[in-house]
Structure 1
Amino acid sequence: MSNAYKSAGVDVHAGYEAVERMKKHVQKTNRPGIMGALGGFGGVFDLSSLQYKQPLLVSGTDGVGTKLLLAIQQKTYNTVGIDCVAMCVNDIVAQGAEPLYFLDYIAVGKNQPQMIEDIVEGVSQGCIQAGAALIGGETAEMPDMYAHDDFDLAGFAVGVVEKDKLIDKGQVKAGDVLIGLQSSGIHSNGYSLVRKIFFKDNDYTLDSQFPELSHSLGQELLVPTRIYVKEILALHQQECVHGVAHITGGGFIENIPRMLSDELTAKIDMDSFEILPIFKVMQRVGKLTQTDMLGTFNLGIGMVVAVPREKLEQAKDILKNSEIKHFVIGEVIDKNQPSQYEGKEVIL
């Protein structure tokens, strides 16, 4: 091939090497329904292999945001792929969908095959956790848009659910109990504020240590987003789910109401669950109010499930089989009182 493209800053041969390196990771994600091999113009999935009667496809797309800047600074690339998958599959499983397949998009300033392989290794790990196949993707080298070591990462997930099993906000009722599934940390939202608190408003570094944290600050901030697919599908299979809220950007305040009709709200007991140490450190260092925290972060709860009260004990029994901690954090109530974000009892 001509060197003309390389003279413009695009290394085609490095791209070929990156593709070869990622193949072994992609192959680990194979599942029934996959057709064809990596490298085609499109990924192909055979829905007829799934035995669904009235299948609905549910899709979701997301990125990792400015958490990537911390990965770049630490040259740690094999966790953010998990984040990317998690942000997408947690959204679609919140509607009851079993993830089927995933595609990624990586944009780089310079195609560095080892870095690309590390990113895709993380994506494949996330896909394995979610039960989804990595059936395609794109790596774009754009030296005029990104600095040499910079990259962006986004993904797209597709899942399937029976038409009569789709979870929507009309199913949640007053009296439903709210179960919170513990997060692994900050997950992938609020990092612009996180970086401002620690590195702009204060002089902390990625190597800084806090007595509350078991890792350096940099390591703590790169803990990958937890994937809740197995837990939500297990609950949904036993008809223990009226609604699910993935606690992402906007925290409790924005996301829990997304599973509720306009006539309902949620009452949360702030003493009922474990607020993870990283959030306590951020609130103290950043001098943030509880309202700030509730409107930005997950506080240690990555997914909230509205469970029929008569199914509560069954739901708790199902979740005992998971390594993820769960807490009864509140209940759904009629919307007849104003929102309240400070204090022990929060009304959303």
Structure 2
Amino acid sequence: MDYRSAGVDVAAGRQFVHQIRDLVAQTHRPEVLGGLGGFSGLFQLGQYQQPLLVAGTDGVGTKLKLAHDLNRHDTVGIDLVAMCVNDVLTCGAEPLFFLDYVATGHLEPDQLVEVVRGITQGCQQAGCALLGGETAEMPGFYQPGDYDLAGFCVGVVEKANLVDGSRMAVGDRVIALASHGVHSNGYSLVRKIIADGGWAWDAQPPEFQGKTLGDVFLNPTAIYVQPLLSAQRAGIELRGMAHITGGGLPENLPRCLGSGLSVALDRQSWTIPPVFQWLAAAGSVTESNMFETFNMGVGFVAVVAPDQADRALAHFQDQGLGAWVLGEVIAGDGAIVGLPT
């Protein structure tokens, strides 16, 4: 007997590392020391007065099941990076480097190269280095062809520039940045709606203008790093930021508020995108449950002073983002006023 007869192909692992070496190198920043293949990754921190390291970790969830069913693996890596770097960004931190963990039942190099290709694309969008990773082949634990992903991101922010809600005040404007669709949350409900409705992933409901359900629901999560960091560099003070992930606006927006503050949302300030309207109709999902599960078209939120709102909107729109004033900061206990109940 040998390791291969037990289901672990060491040679395939070596082939996989060889195939991704150039992809990983494309993400490297000048601060990266060494290359792929060591026991750890090295990153030289630049010149900071009082640097705060900010760390985040996340996964992609059951969206991976859709990637497996469609045999399309080139976008979920972008989702993986986005879910981590967008979280780190909410503190005002610049993502520096990223690491991934891939677990699979049987290592299929060509399949996982596509996953890593997406990870490197996400890192390039965020401006962070793919510093390293781990691939675990676990036969008997995962079914052949299945895999799971976890991501880890580290960023840095000067202590004086930390965004923690402490400078937020009544009257500040809450600016919404548009999502790219469902992003990476609520896919257990998405899959149930489609399965119970008897839909195929290649179906083309008229609401989606020629796109298949597979195209729409594999659309990757937007990465907001560069537009927000460039806003800070342009002198726009960001007093609070929230990444709208699982739990939607009701759960995530309060996390960025200062003490004694709430938000009054203007529900008429945006039109719910077609993908969410379709899900609500196809699954008979109530409006309140939709808002508690999905981002409903709002992928990220930034809070700015009233006199900077127009400038911030113009900046984000120049960056190609849909942006609008979602609401206003009011006195309160952290509640979000104006959401459906």
Q: TM-score range by the shorter chain?
A: over 0.9
Q: Deviations over 1:219-271 (max 9, x none)?
A: 11100000000111122231421000100000000000001135211111122
Q: Greater shift after overlay, 254-263 or 177-186?
A: 254-263
**1:241 and 2:238 matched:** yes
**1:66 and 2:59 matched:** no
RMSD: 1.6
Letter in 2 for 1:208: A
Question: How far 1:274 moved relative to its partner?
Answer: 3.2
State the SS of the aligned residue for 1:225: coil
Question: How far 1:54 moved relative to its partner?
Answer: 1.3
**1:323 and 2:320 matched:** yes
What stretches of structure 1 move > 4 A for 4+ residues in a row? 336-340
Q: 1:187 to 1:217 in 2, by over 3 A?
A: same
Aligned ranges 1:190-339 → 2 under 5 Å: 190-199=186-195, 201-214=196-209, 215-237=211-233, 238-335=235-332
Gaps of 5+ in 2: none
State the SS of the aligned residue for 1:41: coil
Q: Deviations over 1:276-306 (max 9, x none)?
A: 1110100111112221111111111100111
Question: How far 1:339 moved relative to its partner?
Answer: 6.0
Q: Residue 51 of structure 1 aligns with which residue?
A: 47
Structure 2 Cα separation of the partners of residues 336 and 77 of structure 1: 43
Alignment counterpart, residue 153 of structure 2, candidates 157, 167, 173: 157
TM-score, normalising length from structure 1? 0.94
Structure 1 Cα separation of the partners of residues 139 and 270 of structure 2: 46
Total equivalences in the alignment: 339
Structure 1 Cα separation of the partners of residues 44 and 79 of structure 2: 27
Aligned ranges 1:5-20 → 2 under 5 Å: 5-20=3-18
Q: Check conservation: 1:267, 1:333, Cα contact below 8 A.
A: yes
Q: Greater shift after overlay, 309-318 or 331-340?
A: 331-340
Q: Greater shift after overlay, 288-297 or 14-23?
A: 288-297
Question: How far 1:337 moved relative to its partner?
Answer: 11
Question: How far 1:61 moved relative to its partner?
Answer: 0.3
Alignment counterpart, residue 141 of structure 1, candidates 121, 137, 141: 137
State the SS of the aligned residue for 2:95: strand
Structure 2 Cα separation of the partners of residues 271 and 122 of structure 1: 36
Question: How far 1:132 moved relative to its partner?
Answer: 0.4
TM-score, normalising length from structure 2? 0.96
Q: Check conservation: 1:59, 1:157, Cα contact below 8 A.
A: yes
Question: How far 1:210 moved relative to its partner?
Answer: 1.0
Structure 2 Cα separation of the partners of residues 236 and 94 of structure 1: 12
Aligned ranges 1:24-103 → 2 under 5 Å: 24-47=22-45, 50-103=46-99
Q: Residue 346 of structure 1 aligns with which residue?
A: 339
Q: 1:257 to 1:347 in 2, by over 3 A?
A: farther
Gaps of 5+ in 1: none
State the SS of the aligned residue for 2:131: strand
State the SS of the aligned residue for 1:154: strand
Letter in 1 for 2:71: K
Q: Residue 183 of structure 1 aligns with which residue?
A: 179
Question: How far 1:320 moved relative to its partner?
Answer: 3.0
Question: How far 1:53 moved relative to its partner?
Answer: 1.7
Q: 1:321 to 1:51 in 2, by over 3 A?
A: farther
Q: Check conservation: 1:106, 1:152, Cα contact below 8 A.
A: yes
